[in-house]
Amino acid sequence: MLVLLRRGVPEAAAGEVAVRLRMFGVAVHRTDHEGRVRLCAVGDGVPVAWDDVRRWPEVESVERIPVPFKLVSRAFHPHPTLISVGRCAIGSDQLALMAGPCAIEGEEQAFTIAAAVAAAGATVMRGGAYKPRTSPYSFQGLGEEGLRIMRRAADAHGLAVVSEVMDGQQVPLVARYADVLQVGARNMQNYSLLKEVGLSQKPVLLKRGLAATIEEWLMAAEHVLSQGNAQVILCERGIRTFETYTRNTLDLNAIPVVKELSHLPVIVDPSHGTGIRDKVAPMARAAIAAGADGLIIEVHHDPDHALSDGPQSLYPQQFAELVAQIRTIAAVVGRRV
């Protein structure tokens, strides 16, 4: 339920309304919008005397939020959420450009790629240290050593770090090195992991599951927000369809749909979305034209020898050319790099 308080209700009284609501047994989240306090009361099957609440003097209205993702919805939180990551406020006019290798492979690789993507205009370095691979015999990532290397490479070039966390117990370790915790597509419905990243204070990059509907994806985000962490960046990375010419089908419909339903920023991963190097740039351009808040792109200086996802990795020069094009498109849609 959305409990809208009257304009000018003193802070202490607003706090008291939240306490009284909690005494019914619901969880209460708050946001302030246009000088008014909005409280979202959540809790399935908890009996609340809503007719009494409507008569409380501080309360202007009580409405049902008509979607299952309550905290994620614009109905609760009408204004866009901005998430500070390094030098970028994700969700603002400035587009978030995240780039780097699929996996951190070693010092030289990480430093070379960090230098290249920073020079091209990225503000966040991506790179996996814990890799969810289809085959147990494929490279699984360097683990903590990979995180250590990536942190140093990113710091050397003024970049923030996004890296994947594969299970709940890994959260404190990955959070020591990364600025953003990535939840991968395969883990979008790993609810114990969503709970742990929700309890952390770090921004979360939540990838859409391979076969997840937009509603399931937003419900996954709701798990994170319900734990008190509202810093969720949604990432469209392609879904599984009957098409086989591309690795996945990048669902750019999701951008305007999510923008209408939710206040959370949404970025696009055209690398996993297409799986093919020369298809990455066109889809990256389309994503920005469609209103995405940023991009996450795989870049490798020697993709033929990459330990994962070489065929979809851009050469540094290609990434730099793409950023120049994105700059032009950004201006058309009222954004900037």
Residues that bind ligand PEP (CB under 6 A): 102, 128, 132, 184-186, 207, 237, 272
237 binds, among Mn ion, ligand PEP, none (CB under 5 to 8 A by kind): ligand PEP
Q: Least distance in Å: CB of 309 to Mn ion?
A: 4
Cβ atoms of 129 and 165 closer than 8 Å: no
Kindly state the DSSP code that residue 299 receives in the 8-state scheme.
B
- Measured CA to CA, the distance from residue 141 to residue 252 in angstroms comes to 30
Nearer to Mn ion, 71 or 268 (CB): 268
Which residue is nearest to ligand PEP, using beta carbons? 184
38 binds, among Mn ion, ligand PEP, none (CB under 5 to 8 A by kind): none
Q: Least distance in Å: CB of 180 to ligand PEP?
A: 12
The one among 102, 114, 197, 337 contacting Mn ion by CB under 5 A: 102
Q: Least distance in Å: CB of 108 to ligand PEP?
A: 20
Closest CA to 128 of 176, 181, 84: 181
35: left (phi over 0), alpha (psi -120 to 50) or beta: left
Task: Determine the angle formed by the axes of helices 107-120 and 144-156, rounding to 10 degrees.
Answer: 40
Nearer to Mn ion, 102 or 124 (CB): 102
Q: Least distance in Å: CB of 185 to ligand PEP?
A: 4
Composition of the chain by helix, strand, coil, percent to 5: 40, 20, 40
309 binds Mn ion per the rule CB under 5 A: yes
171 binds, among Mn ion, ligand PEP, none (CB under 5 to 8 A by kind): none
Query: 203 is written with which tokens?
Result: 């921004």
Cβ atoms of 94 and 335 closer than 8 Å: yes
Nearer to ligand PEP, 48 or 210 (CB): 210
Sequence-distant (6+) residues with CB within 8 A of 298 are: 99, 100, 101, 102, 126, 271, 272, 280, 309, 312, 313, 314
Nearer to Mn ion, 236 or 309 (CB): 309
Nearer to Mn ion, 38 or 272 (CB): 272
Q: Least distance in Å: CB of 133 to ligand PEP?
A: 8
Query: 62 is written with which tokens?
Result: 């009580």
132 binds, among ligand PEP, Mn ion, none (CB under 5 to 8 A by kind): ligand PEP
Beta bridge partners of 29: 40
Q: Least distance in Å: CB of 186 to ligand PEP?
A: 6
Nearer to ligand PEP, 58 or 144 (CB): 144
SS3 of 155, please? Answer: helix
**Cα–Cα distance list, 86 to 122, 253, 314 (Å):** 11, 29, 23
Nearer to ligand PEP, 30 or 186 (CB): 186
Q: Least distance in Å: CB of 103 to Mn ion?
A: 7
207 binds, among ligand PEP, Mn ion, none (CB under 5 to 8 A by kind): ligand PEP
- Locate the DSSP E strands across 101-229: 124-126, 160-164, 180-183, 204-207
17 binds, among Mn ion, ligand PEP, none (CB under 5 to 8 A by kind): none
Q: Least distance in Å: CB of 245 to ligand PEP?
A: 18
List contacts with Mn ion (CB under 5 A).
102, 309
